[in-house]
Amino acid sequence: MNLFSPQIGTSMNLTGILIVQLGTPDEPTGPALRRYLKQFLSDPRLIEIPKLIWWPILNLLILNLRPKQSAKKYARVWDEKTGSPLMHFTQMQTKLLQEKFPGIPVEFGMQIGNPALLETIKKMVAQGIEKIIVFPMYPQYSATTTASAMDCLGMALQKIRRVPAIRFIPPYYQHPAYIKALATIIREQEAKLSWKPDHHLISFHGIPISYCQRGDVYATHVKRTTFALVKEMGWSRDYWTQSFQSLFGREEWLKPYTEETLKKMAKKGIKKIFVSTPGFTSDCLETIDEIGHEAKEVFVEAGGEELFQCPCLNDHPAWIEAMKTIVEEEGAGWL
């Protein structure tokens, strides 16, 4: 993936760009999902339950039941040629951003699974890179995502002797370039439809309400993204609704819930829905399957007729240009 490989020991002061993404299973199988979920659900930023209580729940219950169920869902989104959609689009984002910065190495690393963040950083350091601009693929801050990425990066750096200087790009939840990229994709996708949406649903990944009560600013960032997006789109207040998806466990999460919202809309006579997912920078299980398959089924069963799952930012030129803008701003003096 890297197009720039200086020899070790060079006297040049090198800067690199590191894209950080959550990760994806290696394949859509039970064993692969068990490895992935074990690492994912062991993150104390994600699951804020005392280890002595959570460990038996995870290892004796969840990891014996959930991998097989999740494997079936991943199989639905797995492409025959490109494999995991999240992996594919992360690779494409890296490649295309590299083209925007031809003299600067651009790499990506995963918090969960492969390529591990540690291995990517080792590779960059071995190339002589002394400064790294870290670009997390989380527009809105949450301890479960952004802070988790920082933790993962910190743990990786503990295992490296020559630690490079680091700049961590802050949340860009209302950055004009990010908002305009979202709006560009929504407009393009809506123009391709053979029908006009009755309503737009803006769905974000949820987190437990208790996390916000303890200080997580995620809900505030989501609201600011939503307001900036609807302003850019010029939508009237009765033309859009914002909701939260991807519930896990029995705790109360941020509301309204996406599937419940879709049921209510269908019963009110809203027949055609356009769903966008601005919190995800790459299409993945939560967008392609959870929205495009499961939520669509819920909507149709409740009386709806059409539900369109808008593609994420992915490798769209507007997003790649937005990434370039954000990197240039945050990397001032290093690039």
The terminus-to-terminus CA distance of the chain in angstroms comes to 20
- At residue 6, does pLDDT exceed 90? no
Residue 3 has pLDDT above 90, yes or no: no
How confident is the model over 128-135, as a mean pLDDT? Answer: 97
- The average pLDDT across 57-61 equals 95
Q: What is the pLDDT of residue 8?
A: 41
Contact (CB, 8 A) for 16 and 96:
no
State percent of the chain over pLDDT 70.
Answer: 96
pLDDT per residue as tens digits for the range 68-109: 999 999 999 999 999 999 999 999 999 999 999 999 999 999
**43 CA to centre of own chain:** 17
Share the mean pLDDT of the chain.
95
What pLDDT does residue 13 have? 64
Report the side by side order of strands in the sheet with 272-276. Answer: 240-245, 199-205, 272-276, 306-309
Q: Is the pLDDT of residue 305 over 50?
A: yes
310-329 mean pLDDT = 98
The mean pLDDT of 294-318, rounded to a whole number, is: 98
Residues near 20 by beta carbon (within 8 Å), at least 6 away in sequence: 108, 109, 110, 111, 117, 134, 135, 136, 137, 149, 152, 153
pLDDT in tens, 224-255: 999 999 999 999 999 999 999 999 988 999 99
| Angle in degrees, 0-180, between the axes of helices 317-330 and 176-192, rounded to the nearest 10 | 180
Which residues are bridge partners to 273 per DSSP?
Answer: 199, 307
pLDDT by residue (tens digit) across 147-164? Answer: 999 999 999 999 999 999
pLDDT at 53 over 50: yes
Q: Are 145 and 29 in contact (CB under 8 A)?
A: no
Residue 143, CA atoms < 13 Å, CB-side half-sphere = 17
Does 308 score more than 60 pLDDT?
yes
Q: Looking at residue 12, what is its pLDDT?
A: 60
**For range 261-279, the mean pLDDT:** 98
| All domains of the chain in start order, with CATH | 14-172+317-330 (3.40.50.1400), 176-309 (3.40.50.1400)
The pLDDT of residue 250 is 86
Confidence class of residue 7 from pLDDT cuts 50, 70 and 90? very low
Nearest to 209, CA basis, from 140, 256, 153 = 256
Predicted TM-score (pTM) of this structure: 0.94
Sort residue 173 into left (φ over 0), alpha (ψ -120 to 50) or beta.
alpha
Relative orientation angle of helices 85-100 and 317-330, to the nearest 10 degrees: 60
- Can you give the pLDDT at residue 9? 40
Is residue 197's pLDDT more than 90? yes
C-beta neighbour count of 78 within 10 angstroms: 18
Helices (H), ranges, 127-255: 148-157, 176-192, 209-213, 218-233
Question: Does residue 104 contact residue 17 with C-beta atoms inside 8 Å?
Answer: yes
Residue 237 DSSP label: G
Sequence length of the chain is 335
